[in-house]
Chain A
């Protein structure tokens, strides 16, 4: 039976009328009209529907909407703001560093899987700011890409990790030398 449910998505409270068993994904795409999370398998196998729930990557296609009541859901659309909050940045950037790095690496082909790639990579970097390649591969292993973009995604995560490091160094001790060094590393 449909009931009214309040959910917190991208720091806004939304009231939706849905059967409590409805997978969160269908509420996000149809009621909230979000385009980040998307249908891929409905079986939690591929990762295209990923969102962050209280900061943890979660498959929205198998998560009942009722299960996220009282928790904070962040989708691709809300990722830059979530990042700014995490890093206590004065301003919300246009893109999360992982998103920027994916553009810089021209990592995508069709790009459909990249919602999940970005959400998972953001979660990884929020816990492990300087992951090794092996750590990246392990953390990302539950996300599939049919176009074969894995090698470029790995490079992009490494690039984002460097960019985030230099951003933090620059805010703590903003010397010219460090900026130059960070720029070189980023290249």
Chain B
């Protein structure tokens, strides 16, 4: 099999009967884009045949109407189990006056779907909805003009329902025509001007309602095609071979010795190597797994990591490049005269994306072109990088997206795509690469560790008058491991982005504070672990530190933490989520729990605010702290998000629910362990996450704001929940929890019992 495979409606499976045994014949399992896309490629001509991105200034780029009166909407955002695909279809169906059953979409593909940028920062609805909404409105306008001409009736007499355009009866016969009859399977060939009027919110029928997610039935029946199900004809199974657990970023790992004969006992298995990039391929998957396991290889791994024990001290003692993110008023002066001053030092661990399915990718690379199928959050960015690695022009590289398991940010998907492409190029055959669990856990780009030092001051009336946050962390790693090992690409870091600042929205930004200073102390990422954005990046650490400090001030001022926050908020949207969680959790002022209980197991509650970039998150946590064992349990979590217009409130509730559980997991359990040479968190035992038995009860809430622009909802309550858990610990014990995850040893140390 050579060259790029274009989607075609081949039968999913063909069994050839040979000699009594069932042998699988040519199979394009999963590697078929939805039948409708194939039909489209035939019916609408060139779609999919040439490299994208398609011209965003054409209506045809965004949608196609089929002769059966259905529509395909082309979306530049990936489905990650958050339901955003269904939400974007809701928006399109709303503007087109179609039913949900009449709209569908296709998987992302650099030859088919528009380039809307990556699926980051909960942006699908916030950034993606505008183009899709206006394109749908403009298509509807064009369709109505066609209908008007065809039926000889003026536009104002036309009505549309479910894609059927009707000209009113008015005593005579009513006449109608469907979208499918008007343009089915033909191109609009119209410029997308963005000028068609969109529906007023008051006329919404679908947006703001909660139709069910369209991917769930196939996901429970087992018919949904995940990346891990896709196969290519003539492919080999591949595995990468690396040191168990990543080595220091920037210091690399070098092959010291490699004995290819050590896998001679495995039929058909062979070693593929490019510099320090090593992989194995075999026809049968188990043979590839065994070959990777049995290959005798030794590595040079420099002992330059700080290890968990030396991490925070090294971060704080490094020479950093400092940047004042925000300076307002006269902070030093305000601290000087304040009635109450609180301060604290806080630390947060490296945490892993740990997608439930390790990443993988399929690649078919020939001397003049490449097809790579993977789970990237940004098909066009991945294509750019692959083009450089393979030495092929971008237009000769096609990247297709298939959903893997949830990724929660930049996990190893690009690394896996590059590794598969390199293996296929070396093998001269299509290769399906599957990372093993230790590859994914061990070579992840972790959410960076963080050190935060906070000071805040309030006046005698309980008004916050000064606030300072100093944060230390490194930035995201800019080069994937495969590129480093195979090509020697030097390690580099991002120069901007969320990790180049302390987030003003989390660090006091919800409160009215006249004097504020926020300082980012950028630690160089060399000789630390690899880093990337992990769902609500760094925000959990910011809020954990900041909101405990706010609670400290409230206690000094003798004011209930909820009332203290109300006193310092003027923004009605922050107030909205705060009131929502307080009300739902039955919050009543009372003295701190630590003053009234002295049992072995103490309970406490906390209330906090936080977000990522936009939207507003509020949370209340109820925890139990066992003072003898140091064990902390989160019993209940309330979370509210105001994300403006909630297109599908039920999806957001599901997102909040997941965010609350994941936050409990990250605050109580999750920490990447490493020594001076390697990461040692390589599976679910060495990197435990929350399980059923300790899962809190969760109460998700959406504050609907029909009059506000839609903003992100995939991560914005996590910071608040992290803060609330920290504050609940403070309420229960009377001491601050300086570090997460809140493991028993740290809890006992905080309680002075270690």
Contacts and interface: CB of A to CB of B under 8 A. Distances in A.
B286 A113 contact: no
A45 interface: yes
Nearest to B403: A110
Contacts of B21: 4, 15-17
Given A38-B226, A41-B437, A30 B284 contact: yes
A151 B21 CA distance: 45
Chain A binding surface, main DSSP class: loop
A151 B690 CA distance: 12
A152 B654 contact: yes
A35 B27 CA distance: 14
B690 to A, nearest CB: 8
B220 A109 contact: no
A109 B691 contact: no
Contacts of A136: 692
Interface string A12-49: 00111111011100100111011110111111011010
B219 A114 contact: yes
Interface in A92-136: 94-95, 99, 102-103, 106, 108-115, 118, 136
B751 interface: no
A76 B222 CA distance: 7
Interface residues of A, number: 63
A110 B289 contact: no
Contacts of A150: 661, 690-692, 695
Interface string B14-44: 0000001110100101000000000000000
Given A111-B220, A140-B692, A144-B689, A40 B356 contact: yes
B320 interface: no
B285 A30 contact: yes
B307 interface: no
Contacts of A180: none
A110 B215 CA distance: 9
B436 A148 contact: no
Given A114-B220, A146-B356, A109 B654 contact: yes
Given A99-B220, A148-B659, A109 B81 contact: yes
Contacts of A167: none
Most chain-B CB neighbours within 10 Å: which of A14, A108, A146, A152? Answer: A146
B358 A39 contact: yes
Nearest to A102: B220
Given A31-B24, A110-B81, A118-B220, A42 B436 contact: yes
Nearest to B408: A146
A131 B599 CA distance: 32
B660 interface: yes
A83 B27 CA distance: 30
Most chain-B CB neighbours within 10 Å: which of A40, A108, A112, A136? Answer: A112
Contacts of A14: 22
B559 interface: no
A8 interface: no
B695 A137 contact: yes
Interface in B368-417: 403-406, 408
B356 A141 contact: no
Contacts of B285: 26, 29-30
B515 interface: no
Given A26-B286, A48-B357, A109-B81, A103 B220 contact: yes
B360 to A, nearest CB: 9
Most chain-A CB neighbours within 10 Å: which of B226, B436, B657? Answer: B657
Interface of A: 4, 14-19, 21-23, 26, 29-31, 33-36, 38-43, 45-46, 48, 75-77, 94-95, 99, 102-103, 106, 108-115, 118, 136-138, 140-154
Q: Which 5 A-B pairs have the closest CB atoms?
A: A148-B661, A110-B81, A112-B405, A111-B219, A110-B406
Given A76-B221, A146-B356, A149-B658, 9 more contacts: A15-B20, A21-B286, A39-B357, A41-B437, A46-B356, A103-B217, A108-B213, A111-B219, A112-B357
